[in-house]
Amino acid sequence: MSPALHPELDLSISRIIKAPRAVVWKAWTDPASFEQWWVPAPSRCKVLEMDLRPGGALVTHFSETETRDFGPHLSACFLAVDTLERIVFTTVLLGGWRPAELSAMPGMTAIITLKDHPQGTDYSAHVMHKNSADRTLHHDLGFHEGWGTVTAQLAAIAERRV
Q: Record the pTM.
A: 0.94
Give the pLDDT confidence score for residue 3 in this predicted structure.
84
Between 67-76, 103-112, 115-124, the lowest mean confidence (pLDDT) is in 67-76
Give the pLDDT confidence score for residue 2 in this predicted structure.
72
CA distance 134 to 53: 27
CA–CA distances in Å: residue 75 to residues 15, 17, 85, 98: 25, 27, 22, 11
Q: What residues are paired with 106 via a beta bridge? A: none
Residues 6 or more apart in contact with residue 2 via CB below 8 angstroms:
86, 111, 113, 126
CA distance 93 to 141: 22
Give the pLDDT confidence score for residue 67 in this predicted structure.
66
- Written as one letter, the residue type at 63 is S
Q: Is residue 77 exposed (0-12), middle (13-18) or buried (19+ Cβ within 10 Å)? A: buried
Question: What structural domains does the chain harbor?
Answer: 12-160 (3.30.530.20)
Q: What is the pLDDT of residues 108-160, one digit of tens each?
A: 999 999 999 999 999 999 999 999 999 999 999 999 999 999 999 999 999 99
Share of the chain above pLDDT 90, in %: 82
